[in-house]
Structure 1
């Protein structure tokens, strides 16, 4: 249904979502990036829904105040890529330039972010392919293909047909975390569940994984607060 604005100081942007199976109106605030979603069941008008949201405005603002603000990436900032810290600078050229621990972005900044995002996706595909190939060979199984997306609810998945899907943002995580997610999804090629047998396969492929899982729970949401568009 699109995005609406709830008047106030400050204003609140709401993402409206109709769900005929919903039994009541609900407001949800994403812990990843603070996006506020207003779910509307069948038979409820948009006017009624916005009135409901207005009644909950103080509650929404209270929760939003606990969220870290999104970061629009650009020169002067540091970005971790594949476990290495890069300093972002301005480039006088027309293309992205990587030298040592610096990434020079072409100007204007909007163009630079487009180039940076494309490069990050390339790095993500290379690293996730490397890790998936390694664990698949170790397991003695093969996968069908790898797809990269900007998923909000999961870091990876494995279909019954052996297709692996990963969030490209894993390239911004420590390499050990990226490797863990790859091992987790490759393990599903043998165990399409989260049974004790599945976790045993993960342990065999990756080793102890408690720390990587903890990082994803506590620090993973910060990767979604890195923005590449204004």
Structure 2
């Protein structure tokens, strides 16, 4: 069980000034054995996790000690990209401008390098997000079907999530879950992530047998893993 609190605090105790105020989310977890620190790239927050018996003093001590690292990580985050008129959002790795057209057929479509969103402008962000999720589901479903057929397996169902650390997962019952944000990655990156999770339908582990199944399905393993390490945080900054 976890209890989360978010507040903004300036860490003036460290000579390297952090962004002021610095958003800090405090997690109190029964599973935590020690105080830990990480950055949430999507929210642009510092996350401090405390065991039940540790106080915030221990968390502040860790923050102060690692203030330079926190500053570096926060400064390296890509700017947040809102789902708004004129913003360019990648689809399959190709930038598409969001354009509002109240009279367009909708609620949103891809057209000549644009995401054309119909209806009232007040609903543009939500309709763009709905479109991105629907497009992700469509593309992922096609890839799952092809890779599953190649291995002679079958997914129980496909669901979309908005995870911060895992692009995909495979449950023991055969349910595959993917981040909808993968629709923004290049097609070959999406292909790798789908192949990875479909391979788990045959090998629910990361053994040599599992990686052999992945290699049967896609040649993009190393390149895709490298792309996600370098560019994945940027995808989390959209919306």
Q: So what's the TM-score if we normalise by structure 1?
A: 0.86
Once residues 50 and 179 of structure 1 are traced to their aligned partners in structure 2, the CA distance between those partners, rounded to angstroms, is 40
- Structure 2 distance, partners of 1:161, 1:131, is 19
Separation in structure 1 between the aligned mates of residue 97 and residue 191 of structure 2, nearest angstrom: 24
In structure 2, which of residues 171, 177, 181 is the aligned counterpart of residue 169 of structure 1?
181
**From 182, 195, 219, the counterpart of 1:207:** 219
Moved more, 137-146 or 75-84: 75-84
Deviates more, 1:200-209 or 1:141-150: 200-209
Unaligned runs of 5+ in 1: none
Q: Please tell me the root mean square deviation across aligned C-alpha atoms, in Å.
A: 2.5
Q: For residues 127-173 of structure 1, what are the alpha-carbon distances to aligned partners after superposition, in whole Å with 9 as ceiling and x for unaligned?
A: 10000000001111111110110011111111121111111111011
1:91 maps to which residue? 101
For residue 229 of structure 2, the aligned residue among 217, 222, 226 is 217
Q: Distance in 2 between matches of 1:15 and 1:166?
A: 25
Unaligned segments of structure 2, at least 5 residues: 12-18
Q: After alignment, is 194-203 or 74-83 more displaced?
A: 74-83
Instruction: Give yes or no for contact 1:105–1:113 (8 Å, CA) kept in 2.
Output: no
Within 5 Å, give how 1:66-215 maps onto structure 2: 66-93=76-103, 95-106=107-118, 111-215=123-227
Number of equivalent positions: 226
Q: Using the alignment, how far apart are the partners of 2:121 and 2:39 within structure 1?
A: 29
Q: Distance in 1 between matches of 2:124 and 2:30?
A: 42
Do structure 1's residue 2 and structure 2's residue 5 form an aligned pair? yes
For residues 76-130 of structure 1, what are the alpha-carbon distances to aligned partners after superposition, in whole Å with 9 as ceiling and x for unaligned? 2221113443222232348435432222335765521100000111111111000
Instruction: Give the TM-score, by structure 2 length.
Output: 0.83
